[in-house]
Structures are given as structure tokens and as C-alpha cells.
Amino acid sequence: MESAAAALREARRVVVFTGAGISAESGVPTFRDDLTGLWARFDPAQLATPEAFHEDPDLVWGWYEWRRARVRRAEPNAGHRATAAIERLIPDTVVITQNVDDLHERAGSRGPVHLHGSLFAPRCVAEPAHPAAFPDADDEPTDPGEGRRIPPPTCVHCGALVRPGVVWFGEALPEAALATAVEAAAACDVLLTIGTSGVVYPAAEVPRVAARSGATVVQVNPQPTPLDDVCGINLRGPAAEVLPALVSRIREAATAGDP
């Protein structure tokens, strides 16, 4: 912990890279864990591919609206809030997340980079794809009920169907988001990787880019992961406990006048 705090105190550029683990601490199920109850009869490929949406848009939209409503009931945890605190303490901090929820934003993070898209940024299926505009898009989602088919809305600009703004199986990551993530990782002094398994590519390459570029990579995770070997510091424990403690160490040193 002291080594991680010292590295952050000396850093000019920081990347905070988060995965499903930090949101799981807020009660947000992982993608596959959301295939429960009435949804358990479906294979992920039936709900998370462009082909699935084309074949049964009502089924796919219904599942994602159900997921979106569940996320809205969750609250940012102490790990999300500590991430926002790191941004305030070290202004040149970039938050990169594999999560499709909005918990970082609600905790106070400014413009996190969403590598896998967002449940709260639906987009039009038209080519070229563009952010969707449709009536009531910004309303609080109501719980549609488990297993319900819901017709997706249509874009008010072009009339095409609106789809969930997440990256599906078989789709590439958003080019701009991936480029931003790689550039930030290559230029940072410290990268914090939090709650990610390190096995989902190409996102899993981000901490490795930082390590190859000479950054100190600090991992926060309760369990060992494939990233252990590239991390200079491994902090075992949940993000909601480890990150606030880390922020406290940084603040204490600043108050004491340490560099």
C-alpha cells in the first residue's frame, strides 16, 4: 500500500482501468450472471450479437432494458468514489472502463472512456451508425419485468431501429475509445487496474501496454489474475476497501508536506 501511494504521489499521468469486479461490489451482475431467472433459458449468443438483434429485436431490447433498470437501482460504491477522488488529486488522470454501467459517472468521474460501450448510450443501427435520439431516451428506465419482449424505439432523425449502445460478440471495440485507452496507457506513469480478470482482449492489453512503456502497474483484485506477472504491485482485496485506503494515504502524505 505504501509503495502504491508513493508511486501515485510522484505520478504526473495516471490511468485507472476498471473491470466488472468494481461494479459487482455495487451489486451489478456480470454479463453472464444476468442470465438468471426467466432469462436463464437463453444463450448469450441469443441476446448479445448483431444477428440476434436482427432476428428478434424485441427480445434483445427487452433484456437490455431490464439490465439498464437494474443498474439504475445500484449505487456507486466507495471504490467508484475513490476513483473520482484520484482524478481530483491527480488532474491528469484518465479513467478507462470495460463496464457498460454509469456508476463511474454517478460517482463523479469526468468522461470515463467506455471500451465496451454503455447501456446509457443507445445508438442507431443505420450506417454509418450515430448516437440515437428518440423520445424519452433520457427518462429513468422503468423495470420492464423479467423475460419481457419490448419493441425498440426508432431514431427520430432517420427512422431506423435504436439498438443498445454496447459492444456485442463479433463486434470491434469503438476505434476512438480503444485508441484513447492505448495512448493513455503508453503515456502514463502509473496504471491502476481494478477488478478486471485480464483475459478479455483487446481490453486486457491496456495494462500490458503501460507495463511495456515503463509505467508502474498496480493491481487491485481479491484474487490472482493473469495480470499478476505484469504488475509491479498487487493489492489483494475489494476495490471498495483498498481504493479508499490508498486515497487516504495519498492525502495524509500531502497534508504532512511529503513530496
Residue 193 near residue 224 (C-beta atoms within 8 A): no
Is 77 part of any known ligand binding site? no
188 is in an annotated binding site: no
Q: Is 136 annotated as a binding residue?
A: no
- Rounded Cα distance, 247 and 83, in Å: 9
DSSP-derived secondary structure letter, 198: S
| 46 marked as part of a ligand binding site | no
Q: Is 98 labelled as part of a ligand binding site? A: yes
The closest of 87, 70, 106, 78 to 192, measured between CA atoms, is: 87
DSSP state of 123: E
99 is in an annotated binding site: yes
End-to-end CA distance of the chain: 17
Q: Which of 80, 104, 114, 116 is catalytic?
A: 116
Is residue 97 a known part of a binding site? Answer: no
Tell me: is residue 70 an annotated ligand-binding position.
Answer: no
Q: Is 124 annotated as a binding residue?
A: yes
116 is catalytic: yes
Query: Cβ(242)–Cβ(82) under 8 Å?
Result: no
155 annotated binding-site participant = yes
Total residues found in the chain within this entry: 259
All three cell numbers of 231, joined, read 504488475
Within 8 A by CB and 6+ apart from 37, the residues are 146, 147
Binding residues for NAD(+): 98-101, 195-197, 221-223, 239
Binding residues: 64, 67, 98-101, 124, 155, 195-197, 221-223, 239
Binding residues for substrate: 64, 67
Residues with catalytic annotation? 116
Binding residues for Zn(2+): 124, 155
